[in-house]
């Protein structure tokens, strides 16, 4: 059906009209890449392979030449059929303010915070329009509700604990509800919010049965890592990646069988709409098939097969330690810009990467890595409604809410606004393929019923960083300014006037 529809549009192409490449499409070396979220049936096709001859024709579309002058080939016709090439009168310019934005009728997705967002004929964004078709998807990691006891070690499970809403709920659920022996791992940074620090201290008192480990990297090491990440991504937000590098050797040494992820449910589906993972990776049958063939290859290499979740742990840690070996051009449908940037940043700290690589090699050979699993908060909390979860955590473990009224997403970090602003600006300028995470996650959270639409709109307008100014964010990142002590080696401050 799609091919016939495209063909009809191609037949209607008027050679006497001026055609142009639709906004938000960018010409790459071998692909056209879309900076936005397309409506069905092209939602998960933000990259289209094209021939050199098509690229040559596209480069001639200067807004003056007619389609007849450029030449209507089959490749050009196919792009017209998909709405990638359009008559000049149908060109969509980016909106310049939230007031001008076109909003989804159901959630808070809009084409200002997500430039290139396409709404369907019913006025729905792709997240809402395809909710029914995608309802059976599961996290890439195996989903569990209960972690079995570990008879061979002192811990049943480990969590990365930031003091934020989601990791606090995970810690509470595992320790207090499921009575697991939990190893809580916290990577302390100068960017940790005051409320997160207070939440961690209160949790220590409320949950004496939990073993809390808090580690902090040497400031010079952190400065090197953050400088490189800022150079590549325009910000220094890279949590929780360094936590894997810091704590993976400890997890292997202690033989902890499970590392449980504690993400807001919307964060998992963000991977889909950000074109980081393909849809099939979220389907249990494909996950099982992938593990079967992966383990078959391991057996041929005389390695022990991996259990469910170990394969995901292996690829997560391997990506951070060795980088992503495929998609180097960043032009394909699926890209992981974040992992590439984080790997490059962590590689600036050999004192951190050396032990990580050694531990990965050892655990890979013996298949002794933790299983990376996921708990679906919507299932275990009967909908995971943010207000109710906050109230529960305050009562049960003394959780400290953000000082900013209406803030519910990413409460543990002082510079979350920097990430939001830089992701938004870099995506708007088509310098990065990362769609602003918070814009997508808030839309998904509304659609899932985790937060009312009106509250999400207030959060967008009053507590996110989309509408800030560069000077404000540069000041937020001052903890990593160079040392001023006499005789200290001078290090250029990459954060002054940081956000451009």
Residue 150: what pLDDT? 94
Of 227, 240, 145, 228, the closest CA to residue 196 belongs to: 240
Inter-residue contact 182 to 168 (CB < 8 Å)? no
Residue 460 CA to residue 414 CA, distance in Å, equals 17
Mean pLDDT, residues 385-409 taken together? 87
Over residues 47-78, the pLDDT tens digits come to 999 999 999 999 999 999 999 999 999 999 99
Q: Which two tokens stand for residue 49?
A: 């392979």
Angle, to 10 degrees, between the axis of helix 386-397 and the axis of helix 194-206? 50
Pairing of strands 19-21, 85-87: antiparallel
Q: Which residue has the tokens 């903890």?
A: 479
Mean pLDDT of the chain: 86
Residue 261: what pLDDT? 82
Q: Which two tokens stand for residue 496?
A: 């002054």
Q: Which two tokens stand for residue 17?
A: 């009209």
Q: Is 373 or 333 the better-scoring residue by pLDDT? A: 373
The pLDDT-based confidence of 382 (bands split at 50, 70, 90) is confident
Q: Is residue 390 pLDDT above 80, yes or no? A: yes
Q: Which two tokens stand for residue 189?
A: 């940074």
Q: Which residue has the tokens 């949790």?
A: 203
Residue 442 CA to residue 452 CA, distance in Å, equals 10
CB count, 10 Å around CB of 144? 18
Q: Which two tokens stand for residue 361?
A: 């090699």
Of 474, 264, 272, 468, the closest CA to residue 378 belongs to: 264
Over residues 261-317, the pLDDT tens digits come to 866 666 778 888 988 888 887 777 888 888 899 999 999 999 999 988 899 899 999
Distances (CA, A) of 241 to 25, 65, 246, 321: 31, 49, 9, 10
3-state class (DSSP) for residue 43: coil
Over residues 142-154, the pLDDT tens digits come to 778 889 999 989 9
Residue 493: what pLDDT? 44
Residue 483: what pLDDT? 47
CB hemisphere CA count around 33 (13 angstroms): 21
146-182 b/e (C-beta count within 10 Å ≥ 16 → b):
ebeebeeeebbbbbbbbbbbbbbbbbbbbbbebebbb
Residue 402: what pLDDT? 82
Residue 268: what pLDDT? 75
Of 124, 363, 391, 91, the closest CA to residue 254 belongs to: 363
% residues pLDDT > 70 (the chain):
88
Residue 39: what pLDDT? 94
Q: Give the residue extent of every domain in the chain.
A: 2-90, 98-135+401-476, 157-388
Residue 101 CA to residue 103 CA, distance in Å, equals 6
DSSP string for residues in 294-305:
HHHHHHHTT-PP
Dihedral sign, CA of 38, 41, 44, 49?
Answer: negative
Q: Which residue has the tokens 């580690």?
A: 215
Residue 480: what pLDDT? 54
Q: Is residue 94 pLDDT above 90, yes or no? A: yes
Q: Which residues pair with 214 in a beta bridge?
A: 186
DSSP character for 489? P
Among the ranges given (36-45, 249-258, 414-423, 475-484), the one the predictor scored with the smallest mean pLDDT:
475-484
Q: Specify whether the backbone of 157 is left (phi greater than 0), alpha (psi in -120 to 50) or beta.
A: beta
Angle, to 10 degrees, between the axis of helix 337-346 and the axis of helix 219-233? 150
Residue 92 CA to residue 36 CA, distance in Å, equals 12
Over residues 100-135, the pLDDT tens digits come to 999 999 999 999 999 999 999 999 999 999 988 887
Distances (CA, A) of 433 to 84, 117, 175, 440, 468: 18, 13, 38, 13, 21
Among the ranges given (234-243, 318-327, 377-386, 417-426), the one the predictor scored with the smallest mean pLDDT:
318-327
């Amino acid at each position: 059906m799609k091919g016939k529809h495209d063909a009809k549009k191609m037949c209607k192409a008027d050679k006497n009209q001026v055609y142009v490449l639709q906004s938000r499409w960018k010409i790459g070396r071998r692909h056209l890449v879309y900076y936005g979220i397309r409506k069905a049936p092209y939602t998960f096709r933000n990259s289209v392979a094209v021939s050199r001859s098509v690229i040559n024709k596209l480069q001639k579309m200067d807004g003056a030449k007619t389609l007849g002058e450029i030449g209507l080939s089959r490749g050009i016709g196919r792009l017209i059929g998909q709405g990638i090439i359009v008559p000049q009168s149908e060109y969509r310019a980016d909106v310049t303010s939230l007031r001008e934005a076109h909003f989804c009728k159901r959630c808070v997705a809009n084409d200002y915070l997500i430039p290139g967002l396409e709404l369907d004929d019913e006025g729905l964004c792709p997240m809402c329009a395809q909710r029914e078709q995608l309802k059976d998807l599961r996290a890439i990691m195996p989903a569990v509700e209960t972690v079995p006891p570990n008879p061979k070690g002192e811990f049943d499970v480990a969590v990365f604990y930031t003091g934020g809403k989601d990791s606090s709920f995970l810690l509470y659920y595992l320790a207090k509800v499921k009575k697991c022996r939990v190893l809580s791992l916290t990577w302390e940074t100068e960017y940790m919010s005051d409320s997160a620090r207070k939440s961690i201290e209160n949790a220590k008192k409320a949950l004496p049965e939990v073993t809390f480990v808090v580690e902090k990297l040497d400031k010079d090491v952190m400065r090197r890592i953050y400088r490189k990440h800022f150079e590549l991504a325009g910000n220094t937000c890279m949590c929780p990646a360094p936590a894997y590098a810091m704590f993976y050797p400890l997890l292997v040494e202690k033989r902890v069988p499970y590392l449980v992820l504690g993400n807001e449910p919307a964060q998992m589906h963000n991977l889909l709409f950000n074109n980081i993972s393909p849809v099939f990776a979220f389907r249990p049958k494909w996950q099982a098939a992938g593990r079967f063939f992966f383990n078959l290859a391991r057996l041929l290499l005389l390695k022990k097969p991996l259990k469910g979740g170990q394969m995901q742990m292996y690829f997560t840690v391997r990506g951070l330690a060795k980088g992503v070996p495929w998609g180097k051009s960043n032009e394909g449908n699926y890209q992981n810009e974040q992992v590439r940037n984080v790997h490059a940043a962590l590689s600036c700290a050999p004192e951190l990467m050396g032990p990580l690589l050694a531990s990965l090699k050892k655990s890979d050979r013996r298949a002794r890595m933790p299983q990376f699993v996921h708990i679906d908060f919507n299932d275990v909390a009967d909908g995971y409604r943010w207000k109710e979860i906050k109230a529960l955590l305050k009562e049960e473990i003394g959780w400290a809410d953000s000082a900013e009224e209406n803030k519910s997403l990413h409460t543990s970090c002082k510079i979350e606004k920097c990430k939001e602003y830089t992701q938004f600006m870099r995506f708007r300028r088509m310098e990065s393929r990362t769609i602003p995470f918070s814009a997508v996650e808030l839309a998904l959270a509304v659609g899932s019923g985790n937060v009312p639409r009106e509250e999400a709109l207030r959060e967008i307008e009053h507590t996110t960083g989309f509408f800030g100014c560069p000077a404000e964010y540069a000041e937020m990142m001052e903890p990593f300014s160079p040392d001023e002590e006499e005789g200290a080696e001078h290090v250029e401050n990459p954060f002054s006037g940081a956000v451009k």
